[in-house]
Copies of this chain bind each other. A is one copy, B any other.
Amino acid sequence: MSRLDSGIRRLLAQKHALEDAATRISRLSGCVMEFGLGNGRTYDHLREILPDRQIYVFDRQIAVHPDCEPPADRMFLGDLFETLPQAVSRLAGQAAMIHLDIGTGDKDASVTLVARAAPDLVRLLKTGGVVVSDQPVDHPSLAPLELPKGVKPGRIHMAVRL
C-alpha cells in the first residue's frame, strides 16, 4: 500500500474512532484531553464534534496552525513526564475522553512511551471514559473496545476505563 493510501486510512481511522468515542461518552460529563497536538488537525476535529467540552492539549511545543491554537490555560507544554503529573494533580478522574497521538515513528520508543504514561492516563480518566490511541494502551483498568465499522484493527486503538 502506498504512503498516500496509508495516510488516507490513518486519517479516516482517526476520524471514525474519535466520532465513535464522542458518541460513546455522550452521557458522560467531563473534559477531553489530546496528547500530541501536532499540526492541530485532530484537535480541530474534536472541538467541532464536541463543541461544549473543555479540551486540554499536551505537546512539547506549539507547532499548530494559528487557527487551531488552543486557549493558553488549556495547554500543557513541555516534556510529557513533567506535564502529565501536573495534569493528574489538577484533573484526576475528570477526563471523559483521551486522544493519544504520540507515536514517534520509532515503534519501540513509542511502545515504551505509552507504557510509561499509561498509569497517569488511567488516573486522568473517569470510569466509562474512552481512550483513542495510535498505540495500544495496556493497563488492567482499561478494556479494549471494538473499532467502528470499516476501521482495520491495528490502525488505531480504543479502550474504556473500567
The verdict on A11 contacting chain B, using a C-beta distance below 8 Å, is: yes
CB distance from A32 to the nearest CB of B (A): 14
A41 to B15, CA, bound (A): 20
Q: Which of A1-22 contact B (CB under 8 A)?
A: 2-5, 7-8, 11-12, 14-15, 18
From B3, B4, B5, B45, A2 is in contact (CB under 8 Å) with: B45
The count of identical subunits is: 2
- A41-B4 in contact (CB<8A): yes
Q: Which of A67-89 contact B (CB under 8 A)?
A: 67-68
Interface residues of A (CB under 8 A from B): 2-5, 7-8, 11-12, 14-15, 18, 39-42, 44-45, 47-49, 65, 67-68
